[in-house]
Amino acid sequence: MNAELLQAYCTNKLMLFVGAGVSANLKLPTWDELIAHIARELGYDPKIFATYGTPLALAEYYIKKKGSLGALRSWMDREWHKTTTDVTQSDIHRLIAEGQFSRIYTTNYDRWLELAHKAFGVAYDRIANVADLANTSEGRRQIIKFHGDFDDDATIVLGETSYFQRLNYDSPLDIKLSHDVLCNSVLFIGYSLSDINIRLMFSRLTQMWGHSSLASTRPKSYFLTNRPNPVAKEVLGQWGIEMIISEEDDPKQALTDFLRQLVDESGTTR
Give the whole-angstrom CA distance, residue 169 versus residue 87.
Answer: 32
pTM for this entry = 0.88
Write down the H helix ranges in 121-239: 130-133, 160-166, 172-183, 196-210, 230-237
Per-residue pLDDT tens digits for 23-61: 888 988 888 899 999 999 999 999 999 999 998 899 999
What local confidence, expressed as pLDDT, does residue 269 receive? 46
The torsion angle over the Cα atoms of residues 173, 175, 179 and 185, rounded to 10 degrees, is 50
CB count in 10 Å sphere of residue 146:
23
Residue pair 105/18 in contact (Cβ under 8 Å)? The answer is yes
What local confidence, expressed as pLDDT, does residue 213 receive? 54
Of 95-99, 168-172, 187-191, 215-219, the least confident? 215-219
The residue among 90 and 1 whose pLDDT is bigger is 90
The torsion angle over the Cα atoms of residues 243, 246, 252 and 255, rounded to 10 degrees, is -60
The residue among 166 and 141 whose pLDDT is bigger is 141
- Pick the closest to residue 182 from 5, 3, 13 (CA basis): 13
C-alpha pair distances (Å), 188 with each of 45, 139, 198: 35, 23, 9
Give me the residue spans of the domains in the chain. 3-27+87-263, 31-80
What local confidence, expressed as pLDDT, does residue 170 receive? 76
Give the whole-angstrom CA distance, residue 223 versus residue 243.
Answer: 5
What local confidence, expressed as pLDDT, does residue 239 receive? 77
What local confidence, expressed as pLDDT, does residue 212 receive? 56
What local confidence, expressed as pLDDT, does residue 208 receive? 65
What local confidence, expressed as pLDDT, does residue 268 receive? 53
Mean pLDDT to the nearest integer, 126-155 = 86
- Taking domain 3-27+87-263, whether its CATH number is 3.40.50.150 is answered by no
What local confidence, expressed as pLDDT, does residue 238 receive? 78
- pLDDT surpasses 80 at 244: yes
- pLDDT surpasses 60 at 242: yes
What local confidence, expressed as pLDDT, does residue 172 receive? 84
The torsion angle over the Cα atoms of residues 172, 176, 182 and 188, rounded to 10 degrees, is -110
